[in-house]
Structure 1
Amino acid sequence: MAWSTATLAKGCFGKIYRQKYNDTWAAVKKVPQHLIDRKDLERECEVYNKAEHPNIVKLLGNITLTDGKWIIPLEFIFGEDLETTIFQAAKSKIQLTPSIRATIVNGMCEGLMHLHINDIVHQDLKPENIMVEHSTNRAVIIDLGLAKFFRHGLNSAIDMGNEAYSAPEVLRGRSQRSQRSDVWAMGKIIAELHGRVRLHTPSVCPAKIKETMQGQPYCDIVCKMVEPDPRQRATMVSIIDEIRVTGRTLRDSSTPPKQDLLKPPSHDHAARPRPRSASPMRMRGNQLPGKRDNKGTDLLKWERTPRPEIKPPRAQIGLPKSPVTKLAENRNRQAAAGGADITAGLTKLKLNHEPARDLPNKLPQTGKVKVQRVERKNGKIETWEQTVVTQDGKIIKYDDIKISST
């Protein structure tokens, strides 16, 4: 593997380069060996493996030691960081329409909730650590180097997050970073995304959010996320349903209504009289109005145009088939070849299993996709895990299992 000299980013613990890794582009993180010990490296690797989710950056392979540097191959996102999208509009390639904002907000909140239900605290959420893919507007949380497991108040990493996105209790030194402080940081990021203004951290509170967002759809949700008292602050699990519903509403409202091509156009002849110039009558011969023949008869005679005779088409050999016939034949050939197996299988799952609506629309030809979702039923929060296994374009296994209920 030839190392590239193109540097993508620099941090406290090394640099990130864009280069080829196993025939694909990767963001390769290189950390000098003396800056991080093997125990911390194993913890970071464990975080990446447990945090597998479409909205969280993936670890592409094993971490190796080369030339005195730890080599960490990560998924390369063909896009831009949210810092560019929000604060550098002239440089950004993303147009922040309401629908695209909703896609970004939903994506990064789904990713953060997945971290939290796996007892992982990111610690360093900020616009620079959220990538947005140009082709799909998919939001991806990156840089899990400072992420920690948070079980029963025990931490596996030190507190080194960015102060600009630190919750009030963290700034006052009264509390360590936790899932609640992650929620506060995400609330500030959402507010900045909608207002395209950098908020002064000490001023962030529900009143400031209402002033900045001015009643925009996510305003009430963000107010719950930036509550100064962490005990009253929302959790991702408690607000994820509101975020999903708000995002779905914004995307549906921005989609133009589909025209019903099968509905014939209306012809209201009674309400719209036919203009004289469109009369289906014609003059016979070269007679002119106002003239009479020798017998005193008007020369102007009118008659209706005869209705054309419609003959049924005769079967002809050698003529090209109509586009409709070709489309039907193509569909039959594709189904016979198995090319539509995944689409048909996914459609069947969606008809038989309502939770399958959260599955990605594109499944791999051969592989395994695992998605978690959270539902509120009868006042309880239930966490479900869906698993879809495909082989040679066919869905061979589908599980929908409840893993927790609180």
Structure 2
Amino acid sequence: MEYSTKTLAAGCFGKIYREKYNDTWAAIKKVPQHLINRRDLERECQVYNKAIHPNIVKLLGNPTLKDSKWIIPMEFIFGEELETTIFKSQQSQIQLTPSVKATIITGMCEGLLHLHSKDIVHQDLKPENIMVEHDTHRAVIIDMGLAKFFRNGLNSAVDMGNEAYSSPEVLQRRGQRDQRSDVWAMGKIIAELCARVRLHTPSVCPAMIYEILSLQGQQYCNAVCRMVQSDPTVRATMAGIMPEMRRAGGGGNTGEQQRGHLPTPFPHTEVKDPSPRPHAPPLSRAECTALPKIEVKTTLQPQPIQRSPSPARWEHAALPMTEVKMTLQPQPVQRSPSPARWEHAALPMTEVKTTLQPQFVQRSPSRQDGSMQPCQ
């Protein structure tokens, strides 16, 4: 059995014309007077006036009666119906890239969330009642003719809408159209947009959605599964689902921005155990024996060494700035018989897991051999 998207309400029929209204283009809705009573017309205008939002079509002025027709000026959307975008790709002017899909999904969900926050039930959600702007891809929910106020289980209008996007409880006559049935309809619309296939209404359930969307790596899979739960008491609400929708819609761009601003890796270390500075006094024999064995776990970058005025101090400048991970037992150092070589005993036993390029420091002119000693 095929379910029709045709709206089950005679009073909602009318024609839309693009005309100028107060120096701007407008979608002029013309409804024969005998198809809609004044009470329903006033209720529709109240819905528009209360539901002002970028993702809800705007009412531009009060309805007027002309030639036995009600003239209702609406915002004109320079775009196309979502029905065309999803199912008529040859006629569509919108390319459904992941970012465009995210913009459309987030927009129409924001619009429905705003309606529900004002206690308004749309009742007739379907791709034909969602417009998408060509330039900005802004999604706009239109046709509030069947929308009703819903407070404490009381409705301001009869339950009407289309069958193809009706929730299970509505089709089985077990419940009336409310915010939860709107959520179910929106979940099916999102699934069809992501998969670009028309889904058979009775078969729509979390298992079916998971099978269709998870294979494509869709980030909306879990959220839509919660929206199409058959039991309305466990079905997600728009307020509960929106944080996940916003994250899913903005995740791709955020990741690209973060990847684009990653700093170039540059190893540097922090000294937590102070070591001798270039201008410290010469080490005594007792201090030499206290130098620990150090295991370096970070990649070290050799630092340039400036010659100290004193030949006895230049070795200290070669000590790398390291973060000490663990201190081992100090190794005893015996004093060299030659006063010219004692400084080497002061250098710690260092186990380096990365290869460092040695820096060479020229000996002081006061040295008699004129040789160069490598930095340890």
User: TM (normalized to structure 2)?
Assistant: 0.65
In structure 2, do the counterparts of structure 1 residues 11 and 256 end up closer, same or farther at CA, with 3 Å as the change threshold?
Answer: farther
Is the CA contact (8 Å cut-off) linking 1:227 and 1:233 kept in structure 2? yes
Task: Give me the whole-angstrom Cα distance separating, in 2, the residues matched to 1:208 and 1:11.
Answer: 35
Superposed displacement of residue 251, structure 1: 3.1
- Which residue of structure 1 lines up, in the alignment, with residue 48 of structure 2? 48
Is it true that 1:97 corresponds to 2:90 in the alignment? no
Counterpart of 1:92, as a letter, is S
- Which residue of structure 2 lines up, in the alignment, with residue 163 of structure 1? 163
- Which residue of structure 2 lines up, in the alignment, with residue 22 of structure 1? 22
Superposed displacement of residue 164, structure 1: 0.1
1:255-294 matches, within 5 Å, as none
- Which residue of structure 2 lines up, in the alignment, with residue 141 of structure 1? 141
Is the CA contact (8 Å cut-off) linking 1:98 and 1:251 kept in structure 2? no
Is it true that 1:199 corresponds to 2:199 in the alignment? yes
Higher relative contact order, structure no. (Cα contacts within 8 Å, ≥ 6 residues apart): 2
Task: Give me the whole-angstrom Cα distance separating, in 2, the residues matched to 1:231 and 1:254.
Answer: 38
Identity %: 72
User: TM (normalized to structure 1)?
Assistant: 0.60
Is the CA contact (8 Å cut-off) linking 2:11 and 2:36 kept in structure 1? no
Counterpart of 1:223, as a letter, is C
Superposed displacement of residue 202, structure 1: 0.1
Is the CA contact (8 Å cut-off) linking 2:133 and 2:139 kept in structure 1? yes
- Which residue of structure 2 lines up, in the alignment, with residue 32 of structure 1? 32
1:4-403 matches, within 5 Å, as 12-214=12-214, 215-253=217-255
Task: Give me the whole-angstrom Cα distance separating, in 2, the residues matched to 1:65 and 1:254.
Answer: 54
Task: Give me the whole-angstrom Cα distance separating, in 1, the residues matched to 2:117 and 2:70.
Answer: 29
Superposed displacement of residue 219, structure 1: 0.1
Task: Give me the whole-angstrom Cα distance separating, in 2, the residues matched to 1:66 and 1:255.
Answer: 54
Task: Give me the whole-angstrom Cα distance separating, in 2, the residues matched to 1:259 and 1:205.
Answer: 41
Task: Give me the whole-angstrom Cα distance separating, in 2, the residues matched to 1:178 and 1:87.
Answer: 27
Counterpart of 2:234, as a letter, is Q
Where is the strand percentage greater, Structure 1 or Structure 2?
1
Provide, for residues 251-280 of structure 1, a one-character-per-residue CA deviation record: whole Å limited to 9, x for no partner. Answer: 3346696589xx9xxxxxxxxxxxxxxxxx
Is the CA contact (8 Å cut-off) linking 1:123 and 1:146 kept in structure 2? yes
In structure 2, do the counterparts of structure 1 residues 251 and 100 end up closer, same or farther at CA, with 3 Å as the change threshold?
Answer: farther
Superposed displacement of residue 212, structure 1: 1.4
Is the CA contact (8 Å cut-off) linking 1:99 and 1:254 kept in structure 2? no
Larger of the two Rg values belongs to structure = 2
Superposed displacement of residue 159, structure 1: 1.6
Task: Give me the whole-angstrom Cα distance separating, in 1, the residues matched to 2:156 and 2:253.
Answer: 39
Task: Give me the whole-angstrom Cα distance separating, in 2, the residues matched to 1:256 and 1:130.
Answer: 33
Task: Give me the whole-angstrom Cα distance separating, in 2, the residues matched to 1:156 and 1:11.
Answer: 15
Is the CA contact (8 Å cut-off) linking 1:81 and 1:130 kept in structure 2? yes
